[in-house]
Amino acid sequence: MIVLVQANILTVGLEGKNEILKELPIRIISMQSGKQAASSLKSEKIDSVISKWDLKDMADGQFIKSLRAVKPDIPTIVFVKANDVQQEIDARSLGVSAVLTDETDDELFKQTVANILGLKGVISIESISPTKSKRYKKVRN
């Protein structure tokens, strides 16, 4: 399948959740460290950030707080602990685009990312060789 990349997404501390986004026309740059992620923001063109609130090397939302101070307009999705009202309040007070919990199901996560990036109705070409009718097979996401 050929997919035209429409956004570069930096994910931080998400581990296995990146697999859920493979169907979207995005390039994923995955980091586990907040310090690594902060450094990559300087060297990579990043259109959006998806991060856990608490990272191993930057607890209590320090990465998100730093990101919002430097790049307040970048679309940002934050994962907080389920039932941790204070984390959710703190994340929302920073003006992030969306707050999800660790328990968010895969479909809601993928749909949230697509909505925030404006990827509704994206068409990807599934085959580079024409079908019998000389047309390319298309799949609507």
- CATH number assigned to the domain comprising residue 114: 3.40.50.2300
Does a structural domain hold residue 89? yes
Does a structural domain hold residue 91? yes
pLDDT of residue 4: 72
- First and final C-alpha spacing in the chain: 13
State the chain's mean pLDDT as an integer: 85
Contacts 24+ apart (CB under 8 A), 80-83: 80/53, 81/53, 81/54
Q: Is the pTM of this model over 0.75?
A: yes
Is 7 within 8 Å of 48 (Cβ atoms)?
Answer: yes
Domain count, the chain: 1
Does a structural domain hold residue 97? yes
Task: List, for residues 26-79, the tens digit of each pLDDT value.
Answer: 999 999 999 999 999 988 899 999 999 999 999 999 999 999 999 999 999 999
Task: List, for residues 68-113, the tens digit of each pLDDT value.
Answer: 999 999 999 999 999 999 999 999 999 999 999 989 999 999 999 9
Does a structural domain hold residue 1? no
- What burial class does residue 14 get, using C-beta atoms within 10 Å of its C-beta: 0-12 exposed, 13-18 middle, 19+ buried? buried
Does a structural domain hold residue 39? yes
| Domain range enclosing 34 | 7-140
